[in-house]
């Protein structure tokens, strides 16, 4: 199927499964290293990369578990590779400790979670969206994650590029919180030619820099990243560390470091946050949704408009950082909010926290798409 | 020359991050000798220091990476080996050594050891076996001898320990050795042999942890444990590894040696070209 001269970017129009599009997005973004452990519904990502990565000079390795997978992509990143893993809920949980190591050591990489129903083994083959708060708080300690929520195979491609770019730009592990429906559905995917892709590489230290401090951040709060084998003799530790990278058991250093790794995301929130707004300008009721559920929400909003109800859609393309500011702008006192998501109200609480008003929750614990009718009913209820 | 004072430098001074001293290790701990020995092996190997990388997990031994003036990674508990696999595969030019403790590598990280050895990943692995979890205050672990007293086995350890060299060799490690920090010249030679080889290489280094193990097990301080090694160790590279268990009793032997040195295809991911 693939010509002898393997193309990194399969430019053109495709009819493609979401997981496959995810793998293609990673390759187009320049991913050179994948480590993972098979788990439904993400396995097709690994299978596609097992096929394609080695032919492009990259490395695919199936590890013994997700603990090892996460550790391996961090190691690969320090050797200079754009690296990623893909998993689902149970594996995502196992990755949490080393996700924290990646945040603390400021190691760029991408983690894709194709969500299924949980807790525990839950619904291996059926959809869920209940890991979105784990994305925010799942690893111990304070941090500010970046997480994307693709709603189509096209976005499985596009947001992988965005995720790799953000990982490299802000020097951190970045999450792609996909879901089983988006991962397994097949739709049109347009892959642009390689030269039209905007790719970002990590900031690098000045050559031969003397007295240079590997963990001293620039004005943008992101330190340039040295690599193993370049002669810098760096020390990298998950312990609280000073600007030399040396362990420091010190409350002042702790507060500075942990604040900075959160603030480097917060100060760039406007650049990072990505939203889609449909008919929100005059909407009296706004549906907030994301991922596969946003597809139903769109139908519900259009159906409400047909019935003369001024509804709008605010689709979260990034879940984290949360678009609190936009939420507060929209919450002018007269507007009502409906939040539709496939969990028991994880983002709904976040919406209420920022709008300072109760929202109508359309929730389900997972297993099947929330139908547009359920969301339409909530819109009509909110409108009366 | 007259009037000038010359300060004698140690040949591996440049491999130690002197700006991190004093180190955290206790008086009588075996880790200093083991680290110094490895540092001189790194230099004597002739491999460019810029390409030598050390990865540790968590524990007292986990701190070794941080004192060595090469690219060094102090990762999470048990995950040094998979982190090292990522480094090595993404940049095959690197000579990657994993330096960690018995608990880190054989309890919480045991599964990674198993699979890395089975795959024959090109890693040099040094395990400091001090028969306990030193860092957390002397609890028992997977190498604690039967009956031994630790803070979590006040009635004596009820679990039989791993025989690490037997484990490693049965998994197909291409180089397997066991030494103590008393046998520093042999250990140095063994480390040089390991650094000169490709594939999964494993050296177990027995080291005193007077605080967590020696004092509560009728061995005593660090120096006493060195005397203990002197009395109880025998060097026998041809020994039957299945029998090479360690009891740490005053009437039991500890067998040392470079036990295994074989060739086996080194791990390359499927479809991969270096
Ligand atoms: C996930 C996790 N669990 C527990 C700990 C606590 N802990 C730190 S070091 C250690 C044991 C280390 O033992 P070993 O590897 O033998 O190293 P030693 O200190 O003896 O050199 C434990 C249990 C931790 N850091 N992380
Ligand atoms: S607790 Fe044991 S292993 Fe840790 S530094 Fe002290 S003597 Fe060494
Ligand atoms: Mg130990």
Of A147, A169, A196, the residue that ends a domain is A196
Residue A90 lies in a domain: yes
Report the C-alpha gap between A57 and B21 in whole angstroms: 42
Distance CA A178, CA A105 (A): 25
Of all residues in chain B, what percent carry a pLDDT higher than 90? 94
> From residue B188, how far is each of B13, B33, B244, B256 by CA, in Å?
17, 11, 21, 14
Q: Are residues A282 and A191 in the same domain?
A: no
The answer as to whether A375 is a domain residue is yes
- Residues A316 and A273: beta-carbon distance below 8 Å: no
Q: End of a domain among A152, A170, A196?
A: A196
Predicted TM-score of the model (pTM): 0.97
User: SS3 of A62, please?
Assistant: strand
The stretches of B22-125 forming alpha helices (DSSP H) are: 31-44, 64-67, 80-90, 102-103, 110-119
Question: Is A74–B69 a contact, with Cβ atoms under 8 angstroms apart?
Answer: no
Q: Do B79 and A83 touch (CB under 8 A)?
A: no
Confidence of residue A137 (pLDDT cuts 50, 70, 90): very high
Domain match, A147 and A280 both: no
CATH of the domain at A117: 3.40.50.970
pLDDT digits (tens, 9 = 90+) for A166-190: 999 999 999 999 999 999 999 999 9
Give the integer Cα–Cα distance in Å for A310 and A302.
9
> Is A299 domain-assigned?
yes
Domain boundary, last residue among A179, A196, A213: A196
Q: Each residue of B163-192: pLDDT tens digit?
A: 999 999 999 999 999 999 999 999 999 999
B134 Cβ inside 6 Å of ligand 1:
yes
Domain membership of residue A30 (yes or no) is: yes
Give the separation between CA A309 and CA A284, rounded to whole angstroms.
8
pLDDT of residue B153: 98
In sequence order, which residues have a C-beta less than 8 Å from that of residue A72 and are 6 or more positions away? A33, A35, A61, A63, A83, B82, B83, B85, B86, B89
Number of domains in chain B: 1
pLDDT band at A2 (very low <50, low <70, confident <90, very high): very low
Mean pLDDT throughout B146-156?
A: 98
Q: Are A181 and A147 in contact (CB under 8 A)?
A: no
**Is residue A76 over pLDDT 50?**
yes
Residue B267 Cα, gap to closest chain A Cα (Å): 11
Statement: residue A332 has pLDDT above 90? no
Q: How many residues in chain A?
A: 384
Residue B274 pLDDT level (bands cut at 50, 70, 90): low
The per-residue pLDDT for B262 is 98
- A224 inside domain: no
For the cut 60, the answer to whether the pLDDT of residue A98 exceeds it is yes
Domain CATH for A309: 3.40.50.920
Where does the pLDDT of residue A209 fall: very low under 50, low under 70, confident under 90, or very high at 90 and above?
A: low
Residues 6+ apart with CB under 8 A from B269: A54, A59, A60, A61, B89
Measured in degrees and rounded to the nearest 5, phi and psi for residue A276 equal -115, 130
Contacts of B35 (CB under 8 A, 6+ apart): B64, B67, B68
Instruction: Give the CATH number for residue B245.
Output: 3.40.50.970
> Is the residue at B16 inside a domain?
no
- So what's the pLDDT on residue B2? 59
**Minimum CA distance residue for ligand 2 atom 5:** B25
- Asked if residue A110 belongs to a domain, the reply is yes
A321 pLDDT above the threshold of 50: yes
Cis peptide before A321 (omega within 30 of 0): yes
Would you say the CB of residue B241 lies under 6 angstroms from ligand 2?
no
Query: Would B21 be classed as within a structural domain?
Result: no
Q: Which domain holds residue A105?
A: 12-196
Residue B268 maps to a domain: no
DSSP B265: P
Query: In this predicted structure, what is the pLDDT of residue A1?
Result: 39
Mutate to test the pocket of ligand 1, among B106, B130, B135 (most ligand atoms within 8 A of CB): B135
Please state whether beta strands A147-148 and A173-179 pair in parallel, antiparallel, or not at all (unpaired). Answer: parallel
Domain co-membership, A159 together with A294: no
What distance in Å separates residue B87's CA from the closest CA in chain A?
4
Convert the pLDDT of each residue in B5-45 to its tens digit: 777 788 899 999 999 999 999 999 999 999 999 999 999 99
Q: For residue B25, what is the DSSP state?
A: P
Q: Is A24 contained in some domain?
A: yes
The size of chain B, in residues, is: 274
Residue B118 placed within a domain:
yes
Give me the mean pLDDT over the A12-22 stretch: 98
Q: Do B273 and A57 contact (CB within 8 A), yes or no?
A: yes
What is the domain extent for residue B36?
27-262
How many structural domains comprise chain A? 2
Residue B64 lies inside a defined structural domain of this protein: yes
CB contact under 8 A, B111 and A63: no
Establish if B7 belongs to a structural domain.
Answer: no
Asked whether residue A169 falls in the same domain as residue A282, the answer is no
- What's the mean per-residue pLDDT of chain B? 96
B50 is written with which tokens? 């810029």
Q: Residues A250-264: what's their mean pLDDT?
A: 98
A229 is a domain residue: no
Q: What is the mean pLDDT of residues A255-263?
A: 98
Nearest to B82 by CA among A229, A384, A71: A71
Q: Under an 8 A CB cutoff, do A75 and B78 touch?
A: no
Lowest mean pLDDT among A333-337, B62-66, B136-140: A333-337
């Amino acid at each position: 199927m693939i010509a002898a001269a393997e193309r990194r970017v399969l430019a053109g129009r495709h009819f493609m499964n979401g997981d496959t599009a995810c793998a293609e997005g990673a390759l187009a973004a320049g991913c050179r290293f994948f480590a993972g452990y098979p788990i439904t519904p993400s396995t097709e990502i690994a299978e596609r990369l097992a096929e394609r990565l080695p032919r492009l000079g990259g490395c695919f390795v199936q590890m013994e578990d997700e603990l090892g997978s996460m550790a391996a992509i961090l190691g690969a990143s320090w050797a200079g590779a754009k690296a990623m893993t893909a998993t689902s809920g149970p594996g995502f949980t196992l990755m949490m400790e080393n996700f924290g190591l990646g945040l603390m050591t400021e190691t760029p990489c991408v983690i894709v979670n194709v969500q299924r129903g949980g807790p525990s083994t839950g619904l291996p083959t059926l959809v869920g969206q209940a890991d979105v708060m784990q994305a925010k708080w799942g690893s111990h300690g304070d941090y500010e994650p970046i997480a994307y929520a693709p709603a189509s195979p096209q976005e499985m491609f596009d947001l992988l590029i965005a995720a790799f770019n953000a990982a490299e730009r802000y020097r951190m592990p970045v999450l792609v919180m996909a879901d089983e429906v988006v991962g397994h559905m097949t739709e049109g995917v347009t892959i642009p030619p390689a030269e039209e892709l905007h790719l970002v590489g990590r900031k690098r230290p000045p050559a031969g820099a003397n007295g240079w401090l590997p963990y001293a951040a620039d004005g943008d709060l992101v330190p340039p990243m040295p690599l193993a084998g370049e002669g810098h003799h760096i020390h990298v530790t998950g312990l609280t560390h000073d600007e030399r990278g040396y362990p420091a058991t010190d409350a002042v250093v702790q507060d500075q470091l942990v604040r900075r790794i959160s603030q480097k995301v917060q100060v760039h929130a406007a650049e990072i946050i990505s939203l889609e707004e449909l008919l929100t300008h005059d909407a009296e009721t706004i549906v907030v949704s994301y991922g596969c559920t946003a597809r139903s929400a769109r139908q519900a909003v259009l159906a409400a408009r047909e019935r003369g109800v001024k509804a709008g859609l605010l689709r979260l393309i990034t879940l984290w950082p949360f678009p609190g500011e936009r939420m507060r702008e929209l919450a002018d006192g007269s507007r009502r909010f409906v939040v539709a998501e496939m969990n028991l109200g994880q983002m709904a609480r976040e919406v209420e926290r920022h709008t300072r008003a109760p929202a109508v929750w359309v929730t389900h614990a997972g297993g099947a798409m929330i139908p547009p009718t359920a969301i339409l009913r909530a819109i009509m209820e909110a409108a009366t | 020359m007259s009037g000038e004072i010359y300060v004698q430098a140690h040949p591996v001074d440049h491999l130690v991050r002197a700006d991190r001293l004093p180190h955290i290790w206790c008086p009588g701990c075996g880790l200093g000798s083991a680290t110094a020995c490895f540092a001189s092996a790194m230099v004597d190997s002739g491999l460019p220091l810029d390409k030598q990388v050390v990865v540790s997990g968590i524990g007292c031994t986990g701190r070794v990476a941080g004192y060595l003036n090469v690219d060094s990674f102090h990762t999470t508990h048990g995950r040094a080996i998979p982190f090292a696999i990522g480094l090595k595969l993404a940049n095959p030019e690197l000579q990657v050594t994993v330096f960690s403790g018995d608990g880190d590598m054989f309890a919480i990280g045991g599964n990674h050891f198993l699979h890395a050895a089975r795959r024959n990943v090109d890693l040099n692995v040094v395990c400091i076996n001090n028969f306990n979890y030193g860092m957390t205050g002397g609890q028992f672990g997977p190498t604690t001898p039967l009956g031994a007293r630790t803070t979590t086995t006040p009635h004596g350890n009820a679990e039989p320990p791993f025989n690490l060299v037997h484990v490693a060799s049965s998994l197909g490690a291409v180089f397997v050795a066991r030494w103590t920090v008393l046998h520093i010249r042999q250990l140095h030679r063994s480390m040089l042999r390991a650094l000169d080889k490709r594939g999964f290489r494993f050296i177990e280094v027995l080291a005193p942890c007077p605080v967590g193990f020696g004092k509560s097990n009728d061995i005593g301080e660090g120096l006493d444990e060195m005397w203990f090694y002197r009395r109880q160790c025998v060097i026998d590279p041809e020994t039957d590894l299945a029998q090479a268990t360690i009891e740490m009793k005053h009437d039991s032997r500890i067998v040392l040696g470079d036990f295994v040195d074989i060739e086996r295809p080194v791990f390359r991911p499927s479809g991969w070209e270096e």
